[in-house]
Amino acid sequence: MRKNPTIRDVAAKAGVSIATVSKFINGAQRFTPNVERNIQAAIDELGYQSNPLARSMITGKTGSVGVAILDICNPHFTNIVKGANRVALEQGYNLLFVDTEESQGREDELLDALSRRVDGMVVSTRMPEDQLHRILAYGKPVVFSGRPGPRGVPSIGIDAYAAAYMIAEMLVKQGHRNIAYLGFAPARPDKERMRGLTDCLDAYDIPLTRHEVRGPTMAEGERVCSSVLLRKSKPDAVICYNDMVAIGFMGVAKSLGVSIPGDLSVVGIDNIPFSRYTSPALTTVDTQSERLGEEGMRLLFRHIAGDLPADVEHMTLEPRLVIRESTQLRVTLPTAPEGKPRRAKPTSAAALASRQLTYRRI
């Protein structure tokens, strides 16, 4: 097992200098047909391929980009990676990835190590404010996905407020009057969602009870289910933190003899591929995971190239309601609040979405 050939070997074999070989390989200069032929022959014969590390050292470019996600077992993130990978590939870049869930507390180490091996990265992971600044301090281009970054750092995400608002509004119009939210406070969009939910429900004077889930997983949906259903005032609709939680929740709800959507409506968030295949098929809101990855990468490449207009702070993708079988029109109960909504009809989701940041729709 001998060493791999270097540019020096090629040069020797072709009878030229290494500078010439380098220029030829990179197409930086034309040479005499004779010389070019010799070099090509030497390369073929030796099976030479240039060492990307050595090249990186001098050019300062690695040819790789990174993506940091929370949990590779969650189809939402998996789709982000898929999208990101596609555009990285079409730009001729390699994709490195980091799964931060696996390494409790060492997220920053991981991201740090990652940032030194790539030309830029898409970060889609939750992280305390200070760690976040350490990452940025290193100076590699970063775009945040799923969360607005600090000022000046481009980011992309779906409009969590609008998504929540949509769900609440649909549920209300379907006649639900007692709604529960299975929230996950550590997650980034949780607060925005709560706002969307309460903004909408308050307008109708409909109560919202919040339950806490300890992770965005099917297991947590299962765990929390009975305590949600055992409350004396049973909810008639449950909004789950995401589809995974919803799937777990529905599993035990059914086994507890609760009919969905007959007795209880359930809605998820994300529209992961499997949500079409649960029974009943899950009503959810599509968070465009794959596009999130794609557009995040596009943003990153523009960032790397340096042609990001200064006014692009945050890009927002519109959520889209996907109504399937787990929600149902419900006859308004006699105990429903008297008369009409107290306030005027809430502003449209589109109008609502343009708060807080320089949004740019795509």
3-state secondary structure 210-263: EEECCCCCHHHHHHHHHHHHCCCCCCCEEEECCHHHHHHHHHHHHHCCCCCCCC
CB of 99 to its own copies, least distance (A): 5
Q: For residues 201 and 180, give the distance between their C-alpha atoms in angstroms, rounded to a whole number.
A: 11
Please, are residues 151 and 180 in contact by the beta-carbon 8 Å criterion?
A: no
End-to-end CA distance of the chain: 53
x/- track of binding to DNA for residues 58-97 (CB under 7 A): xx--------------------------------------
59 in contact with its own copies (CB under 8 A): no
Amino acid at 27: G
Q: Judged by CB, which is closer to its own copies: 54, or 333?
A: 54
15 in contact with its own copies (CB under 8 A): no
CB of 195 to DNA, least distance (A): 45
Q: Judged by CB, which is closer to DNA: 28, or 310?
A: 28
Please, are residues 280 and 247 in contact by the beta-carbon 8 Å criterion?
A: no
**Residue 33's CB: how many other CB atoms inside 10 A?**
8
- Among 53, 230, 310, 331, the residue binding its own copies under the rule CB under 8 A is 53
Residue 72 contact among its own copies, DNA, none, beta carbon within 5 to 8 Å by kind: its own copies
Token representation of residue 197: 């939910």
16 in contact with DNA (CB under 7 A): yes
In 3D space, the residue among 54, 32, 285, 12 whose CA is nearest the CA of residue 159 turns out to be 285
Q: Judged by CB, which is closer to its own copies: 141, or 189?
A: 141
- Among 26, 259, 279, 348, the residue binding its own copies under the rule CB under 8 A is 279
Binding-site size for its own copies (CB under 8 A) equals 51
Question: What is the footprint of its own copies within residues 253-272 (CB under 8 A)?
Answer: 254
Q: Judged by CB, which is closer to DNA: 6, or 94?
A: 6
CB of 300 to its own copies, least distance (A): 17
In 3D space, the residue among 291, 181, 186, 191 whose CA is nearest the CA of residue 242 turns out to be 181
Q: Kind and range of the H or E element at 66?
A: strand 64-69
Q: For residues 58 and 165, give the distance between their C-alpha atoms in angstroms, rounded to a whole number.
A: 51
Q: Looking up tokens 């032929």, which residue turns up?
A: 37
- Among 5, 23, 40, 82, the residue binding its own copies under the rule CB under 8 A is 82
41 in contact with DNA (CB under 7 A): no
Region near DNA per CB under 7 A, out of 22-30, 200-208, 233-241, 270-278: 22-30
Q: Judged by CB, which is closer to its own copies: 20, or 78?
A: 78
Q: Kind and range of the H or E element at 10?
A: helix 7-14
CA distances in angstroms from 56 to 52, 116, 136, 342, listed in the order given: 6, 12, 21, 64
20 in contact with DNA (CB under 7 A): yes
Q: Judged by CB, which is closer to DNA: 17, or 226?
A: 17
User: Which residues of this chain interact with its own copies, rule CB under 8 A?
Assistant: 1, 4, 47, 49, 51-54, 56-57, 62, 64, 72-73, 75, 78-79, 81-82, 85-86, 89, 94-99, 102-103, 110, 112-114, 116-117, 137-139, 218, 247-248, 250-251, 254, 273-274, 276-279
